[in-house]
Structure 1
Amino acid sequence: MTQTLQVPHEVKLSPPGRSGLPRGVWSMAFTELWERYSFYGLQGILAFYLLYSLADGGLAIEPASAAGIVGAYGGAVYLAQVLGAWLGDRLIAPKTMVLIGAFIITAGHIVLSIVPGFLGLGAGLILIVLGTGALKTNITSIVGFIVEGHSQQQRDVSFSYFYMAINIGAVVGPLTTGWMQNEYGFHWGFGLAAIGMAGALVQYLVSMKKLPAHASEINNPLPKSRYPLVALVAVAAVALVIVVTTTGLLRADNLAKTTTTLALIAAAAYFITMCTSKKVTTVERRRLYGYLPLFLFSGIYFGLLFQKFTAISILITERIDLQIGDWTFPVAWITTASPLAAVLITPLIAKLWHKLGDKQPSPVTKFGIGLIQIGCAYLFLLIISTATGNAYIPLALILLFMVIAGSSEVFVGPIGLSVATKIGPKSFRSQMVGLNFLTLALGSSLSGQLGQLFTKIESPQYFMIVSSTGFVLGLLLLIGRKPLGKLLRSGL
């Protein structure tokens, strides 16, 4: 049996643009900004659409089920990116996958904006899940192609600004859709998200011709002899979803748990496949071993962060007074404080990393700092929720909590992207990005389960558990930073 050797493509450095970043980073960043505008514009009002009464334009779903749906939706969005990464690596070039995804997401937002009730909700969310799966990992892979061959410092700075664009979209989206929902209703807010996604599509169409040649190539083409098997698996998967939904096996109260289980299975399959593949070298395998703890802890970190869409949304509806005189503070604006804090702190942190150069903290240390900071955020929430008893929590204090929690993301999110695109095996480049995004799938679905737990136990006990989790995991990473860092640097 002969083995076909893959000849690595020639690495051609992308020239610097006027900003000093590799040319093309900003084009992808602005595309991602508008895509995240639409995603978070919807995410900012989705939980409240489920929780609010029919008279207020909502669907009047009970809190535990609403938390499960929101968590499962977020998890499914990122879980679908595993499929998108595989398609971008084996069947369709990343550049084309991004274009297909943009069209599907736009359609999903349009459905949500014009079709009322559970039908519009279900159809719209499914389209957005599928479209985001096609777009998200592949656009990140393209950024990886753009910064390929550049120094780790330049990569971290590029991904920090790319991640800042994500957070700008995450800020502006809920600010505008939240205002629209507050003034005119939920479906007007959904419509504004659709316009934002159309902006992402236009931005990408303009920049497609300037992308690196590797973005138009299929990295690891699937043999045509295996096409029938892939088609059979796809049909079987669709049939399985239909069966478990129609028979009642898949319900609102177990959606988040099901999504978490699927994300863990997908992650395990990816790690096993890469670690046992003959195409993966010994040093690449060592880097994967070093990445495993970061993957797991990052998933838990995002579970804590994404509670702003589940447990914290429930807390807001129950214990926050939104009336400021005769004006009602848009509820979606509260969660916006989290990504806004990340946006404002990113340039400062990026400059700090640039100034420190080789003396900057390792990726493992940065992860540890992020986990400890979000633990501090929930400790603060524990203190203020206990001090206020059963009374309303002042709006300013919940906004401050969002700032503390949201600014911690700069130590985890962009660093995870940078590490994944650098340490991944050459034969699994796009799929490595998909694996990294599984941390968001785990986090989103975990936040749904945490939201359900929040409805069953007392708030002080709940916030103590969450805060302690952040502190303990962060300290474990700081203690193990040297051996983990050694594994991550293997062969580099």
Structure 2
Amino acid sequence: MTEMWERFSYYGMRAILVLFLSASVLEGGLGLNGGTAKALVGVYMASVYLVALPGGWISDRILGTRRCVLLGGVIIMLGHISLAVPAGAGFAFAGLALIVVGTGLLKPNVTAIVGHLYKGDEDARRDAGFSLFYMGVNIGALLGPAIAGTLGQKVGWHVGFGAAAVGMAFGLAQYAFGRRPPGDDAPPHRLTPEERRRFTRYAVRGVAVVVVVVALAAVTGAFTLDGVTWALTVITILVAAGYFAFMFYGSHGITPEERVRLKAYAWLFVAAAIFQMIYDQAATELTAFAHDKTDLSFGGWNMPSSWLQSANPIMVLLLAPVLAGLWIRLGDRVSTAVKFAIGLALAGASFLLMAAAATAASDGTRVSALWLLGTYVIQTVGELSLYPVGLSVTVKLAPAAFAGQMMGLWFLATAVGDAVGGQVTRLSGTVLSQPLYFMCLGLLAIAAAMVLAMFTRPLRRLMSERPEPVMAASG
């Protein structure tokens, strides 16, 4: 329920964010050009998941999971309140920054709580459990665009953002007064006094470096929205690469066996990032396509374009029990790598369908909403093949001393995909025609799925998954 309301606020706001940023000042928006607005939404979504990594560390070493979830929810609500204030770009950007910080504290830790409900050898049940948890998440993702999105498009942008704030307030009330999450909330590896002093020194130095860099950028004229989005994209990729290097080569108690499993996890990380690069363009390229090139009229009434973003959670609610039952029935016969390859291939197929839709709309004709609905259905099946399974395998492969941080590392894959995807959208309609843009990304995802499928057996060995049974030859 807590995550449901947090997702209500996030997806409700996200459904109208790119439209608000690109709308003219006379229409109540910020008047950014389309490429900058989409890139900004991409790096915003990336930042939301990027800070899940320090959020997991804070849980492991300072606050514990329950306090992190509560504090994160409060900060998220304050961010939506800031967005709801019609006072210009300053309040809007401050609101986005607060949501980023709050989500980093809440999201990895509420997810880690779910993973710890299952014993280490209950892989199939954990996969199914995360699928059911994912259903709850998608109730919020369904209601957010339908309520906050409608209010934003039909009444006013800031009214929609205010509805997102109210949703997060409900989540906080439920979490604070509901049943306490199971387990001890004490940080498993609390900082020693010396570690705390060292952390404080590094934090102060880090803040000082950021202040100096921002000041230099402002003086040289490089401190622009486009410059910030490119910088955040590079930072996201470097953080991912740096953290994997730290996990593989650092001296921090990770056993040789755990490092072997991390090699397999690196493959899954790249696959998840490519999937998210396509999947999360629902908030950028597909939102713009729905608003500008899709026929949304029904008997003289125009449906808000944000409603189309509810198609994905509706399909998740319908299909999650089916996929959860399928994974239990198949057990270990279908490997994690195969499930990831299926998800990637379906993501690619969805963009090939969008290439056909964009071709049909290239003469200025608004196309049927069924094109987008079909795209979201294909993506949903791919999502349910990859994402809940990814959450589950992250818990399974996590080194013992880095449980919270490992969940943050999983969300970092989403951050990389969103950051790169936000910049890639600049190619659409400029360097590449929109049909060619969708086709190139679709073929990239399908090629990645084929490569992952080719290496299924080595990945099973690295992850210590049970191999497929060998059938005796007849004759």
Partner residue in 1 for 2:187: 217
User: 1:471 pairs with 434, 446, 463, which one?
Assistant: 446
Q: 2:149, 2:160 within 8 Å by CA — same for their partners in 1?
A: yes
User: 1:230 pairs with 161, 180, 202, which one?
Assistant: 202
Take 1:302 and 1:148, find their aligned partners in 2: how far apart are those partners? 29
Cα 1:44–1:99 change in 2 (3 A) is same
What amino acid maps onto 2:353 in structure 1?
Answer: F
Cα 1:84–1:408 change in 2 (3 A) is same
User: 2:168 pairs with 172, 185, 197, which one?
Assistant: 197
User: 2:154 pairs with 173, 183, 187, which one?
Assistant: 183
Partner residue in 2 for 1:15: none
What amino acid maps onto 1:63 in structure 2?
Answer: G
Take 1:55 and 1:407, find their aligned partners in 2: how far apart are those partners? 40
2:244 pairs with 1:274: no
Q: How does 1:36-185 map to 2 (within 5 A)?
A: 36-149=7-120, 151-185=122-156
What amino acid maps onto 2:249 in structure 1?
Answer: T
Q: 2:293, 2:361 within 8 Å by CA — same for their partners in 1?
A: no
Take 1:489 and 1:244, find their aligned partners in 2: how far apart are those partners? 50
Q: 1:95, 1:208 within 8 Å by CA — same for their partners in 2?
A: no
Partner residue in 2 for 1:330: 304
Contiguous gaps of at least 5 residues in structure 2? 468-475
Partner residue in 1 for 2:290: 316
2:275 pairs with 1:304: no
Q: Output one character per residue of 1:441-470: Cα deviation in whole Å (capped at 9) or x when no partner.
A: 112112211221113121121111011011
What amino acid maps onto 2:262 in structure 1?
Answer: L
Q: How does 1:332-371 map to 2 (within 5 A)?
A: 332-359=306-333, 361-371=334-344
More displaced 10-residue stretch of structure 1: 427-436 or 178-187: 178-187
TM-score, normalising length: structure 2: 0.92
What amino acid maps onto 2:245 in structure 1?
Answer: I
Take 2:337 and 2:173, find their aligned partners in 1: how far apart are those partners? 37
What amino acid maps onto 2:232 in structure 1?
Answer: T
What amino acid maps onto 1:216 in structure 2?
Answer: A
- Aligned-pair CA distance for 1:270: 1.5
Partner residue in 1 for 2:472: none
Q: How does 1:254-265 map to 2 (within 5 A)?
A: 254-265=227-238
Contiguous gaps of at least 5 residues in structure 1? 1-29
- Aligned-pair CA distance for 1:234: 4.3
Cα 1:254–1:468 change in 2 (3 A) is farther
Q: 1:106, 1:194 within 8 Å by CA — same for their partners in 2?
A: yes
Q: 1:339, 1:407 within 8 Å by CA — same for their partners in 2?
A: no
> Secondary structure, in 3 states, of the residue corresponding to 1:106?
helix
- Aligned-pair CA distance for 1:59: 2.1
Take 1:48 and 1:458, find their aligned partners in 2: how far apart are those partners? 21
Partner residue in 2 for 1:239: 211
- Aligned-pair CA distance for 1:221: 2.7
After TM superposition, where is structure 1 displaced by more than 6 Å over at least 4 residues in a row? none
Take 1:347 and 1:337, find their aligned partners in 2: how far apart are those partners? 17
- Aligned-pair CA distance for 1:253: 2.2
> Secondary structure, in 3 states, of the residue corresponding to 1:412?
helix
What amino acid maps onto 1:68 in structure 2?
Answer: A
What amino acid maps onto 1:407 in structure 2?
Answer: V
- Aligned-pair CA distance for 1:401: 1.7
More displaced 10-residue stretch of structure 1: 384-393 or 265-274: 384-393
More displaced 10-residue stretch of structure 1: 109-118 or 192-201: 109-118
Partner residue in 2 for 1:415: 389
Partner residue in 2 for 1:18: none
Cα 1:173–1:90 change in 2 (3 A) is same
Take 1:42 and 1:35, find their aligned partners in 2: how far apart are those partners? 11
Take 2:242 and 2:372, find their aligned partners in 1: how far apart are those partners? 39
- Aligned-pair CA distance for 1:52: 2.1
What amino acid maps onto 2:204 in structure 1?
Answer: L
Q: Output one character per residue of 1:329-355: Cα deviation in whole Å (capped at 9) or x when no partner.
A: 111112221232223211110011122
> Secondary structure, in 3 states, of the residue corresponding to 2:425?
helix
- Aligned-pair CA distance for 1:198: 0.8
Aligned residues: 461
Q: Output one character per residue of 1:217-249: Cα deviation in whole Å (capped at 9) or x when no partner.
A: 333535234243233234225425642663443
What amino acid maps onto 2:198 in structure 1?
Answer: R
Identity %: 35
Q: 1:337, 1:406 within 8 Å by CA — same for their partners in 2?
A: no
Q: Output one character per residue of 1:274-329: Cα deviation in whole Å (capped at 9) or x when no partner.
A: 21234111110000001101101111110101111122223233312333333221
Q: 1:99, 1:204 within 8 Å by CA — same for their partners in 2?
A: yes
More displaced 10-residue stretch of structure 1: 325-334 or 64-73: 325-334
- Aligned-pair CA distance for 1:259: 2.3
Cα 1:57–1:328 change in 2 (3 A) is farther
Partner residue in 1 for 2:473: none
Q: 1:88, 1:430 within 8 Å by CA — same for their partners in 2?
A: yes
TM-score, normalising length: structure 1: 0.89
